[in-house]
Amino acid sequence: MKKLNAFLSCLLISLLISCSETKQTIHMLSFEKVKSVSLDEANFKAEKIIPLELTESSAIGDLPTIGYDIDFFVYSRNNEHVVHRFDNQGKYMNSIGNVGSGPEEYAHLEDMSVDPETRTISLLTSNGIFNYNYSGDYVSQTKAPYPAFAFYYDPYGNYWFYSGNAKNMNPYKLMKHDSKLIPTDDFIEADLNLLPWGENNIHKNGEMITFHESFDNNGYKIENGKVMNQYAIDFGDLNLNREDIPSDPMSFIAYIRTQNYAVIRSYLENKKYVYFHIAENRANEKPNVYHWFINKENSKQLLMKQDTDLEQESYLFSPQLLDQDNFLYFIGYMPGESDEVNPSIVGVDLSQLNYM
């Protein structure tokens, strides 16, 4: 009996240890408690500038998005809905995708996912998922299970789909399917019925895969087939009062224009740093834009306020990925650069910033 009791005690202890190891920790952050500084005070400098070659075939439209694997893959929802491939020096290589109504063509491009293992790129379109190799050759296509606005094909063969906060369409915002597109798991219950906000929700090109959604003050990490809430931000008096949000999705746009609030525009993370792109919106005023950096090794923070007079085409409005070498990459135009050329990919070394 003593041996049995000892065995049961050891089993209970091991279970408690196991539970404590898997318990999820949400880091609470206060936006109001961090003093903002200027770019110069932060020692924020563009260490890498890669101009993307402009040809008759490689013009990039507004609001571009980057995919990365040695080469850069760039697309814009405002261009002709194809992906342009550039090498790591910015030289145009080829385009990927075909717009039209034929059997290997699609009408509208929503998102892309780059797979370094197979050297293929998958496009989420209005017609389904289209797969190509890096040279732009068509490989295959699959029907998407439902309309989605962002997706990710992970190294384990899972498809992740983001359908927005439209609970009339899907009760969950983020859903996982296996390689045969059979649903396997749901994450983050939809609590509102809003139109999807145009932004990059699943950040899948940096060292860690992260997810965020505007009007949700949380940052999530996708790892080992699960979604984990990593950070929750308190914006103080800039927290949006979600109880007053109108139930009619079309009324939301008019409502939001009258509110003072802050939102996460991007959340990126690697082993050493966390980065948040924050927009502070006040009725009838230009928004304030911030870059919030956190050094995970010493918990030091840096909140950098962007100049409100910057042109919307500035690279600072479009952070894209945070790599394992601690470089944060943007896409856009340098100060004084003409928008008659393609934008540049701009890299900033986070290890060189002045953390407070």
Model pTM score: 0.90
Give the pLDDT confidence score for residue 51 in this predicted structure.
97
Strand order in the sheet with 138-142: 109-115, 120-125, 128-133, 138-142
Q: For residue 30, which of 309, 238, 183 has the smallest C-alpha distance?
A: 238
Question: Strands 301-305, 36-37: parallel, antiparallel or unpaired by DSSP?
Answer: parallel
Give the pLDDT confidence score for residue 169 in this predicted structure.
74
Q: How many CB atoms lie within 10 A of CB 310?
A: 16
Give the pLDDT confidence score for residue 293 in this predicted structure.
98
Q: Is 244 helix (H, G, I), strand (E, B) or coil?
A: helix
Give the pLDDT confidence score for residue 44 in this predicted structure.
97
Give the pLDDT confidence score for residue 208 in this predicted structure.
97
Give the pLDDT confidence score for residue 190 in this predicted structure.
84
Instruction: Give average pLDDT by consecutive 10-residue segment, the chain, 356 residues.
Output: 42 38 78 95 97 95 92 84 96 95 89 94 94 96 90 93 80 92 92 69 94 92 94 95 80 87 96 97 90 97 94 94 97 90 97 94
For residue 93, give Cα distances in angstroms to 57, 82, 346.
10, 13, 19
Torsion of CA 103, 104, 109, 114, to 10 degrees: 150
Give the pLDDT confidence score for residue 5 in this predicted structure.
46
Give the pLDDT confidence score for residue 196 in this predicted structure.
60
Torsion of CA 281, 350, 66, 54, to 10 degrees: 100
In sequence order, the β-bridge partners of residue 30 are 234
Q: Which CATH number fits domain 26-352: 2.30.110.10, 2.120.10.30, 3.40.50.720, 3.40.718.10?
A: 2.120.10.30
